[in-house]
Amino acid sequence: MHLEPRDGADFVRGQRVTITATARFDLNQEQDRVVLVVQDQTGRLLIEPQPAETVTGPSGEVTLTGTFTVPGAVTSIDVLLPLGSPGAAATTTVASARNAVKPR
């Protein structure tokens, strides 16, 4: 996965951040859905609605972008790119990253 800002970059509370994530995928079916999930350390979503794209196989690359403001009480932010069928209970995470949050 290519991620901007990069995996491990520090964020600052109150900072406006644009995440751009690009990942390669391989499918076992005709199509699936990739979602950009940005959440704090408690699992609370920071971007809603979540950016998502339907992808077709057998393989390819997808880029998703989303913008949020780092909340004041957050200590870390996780970026996940799950791949799964719409409405499916289980997904496969294509890529993930964790970023620390610092006070101002």
Sign (positive or negative) of CA dihedral 41, 45, 51, 56:
positive
Tell me the whole-structure pTM to 2 decimals: 0.88
Residue 95: its H or E element: strand 92-102
Q: How far is CA 29 from CA 54, 57, 59, 83, in A?
A: 12, 7, 10, 12
The series of mean pLDDT values per 10 residues for the chain, 104 residues long, is: 90 96 86 93 96 91 96 94 74 82 89
Indicate the SS3 state at residue 47. Answer: coil
Distance of alpha carbon 84 from alpha carbon 17, whole angstroms: 26
Radius of gyration of the chain (CA): 14
Give the pLDDT of residue 93.
72
Question: Edge-to-edge strands of the sheet including 2-4?
Answer: 2-4, 16-26, 59-69
Q: Which domains does the chain have, with CATH numbers?
A: 2-102 (2.60.40.10)
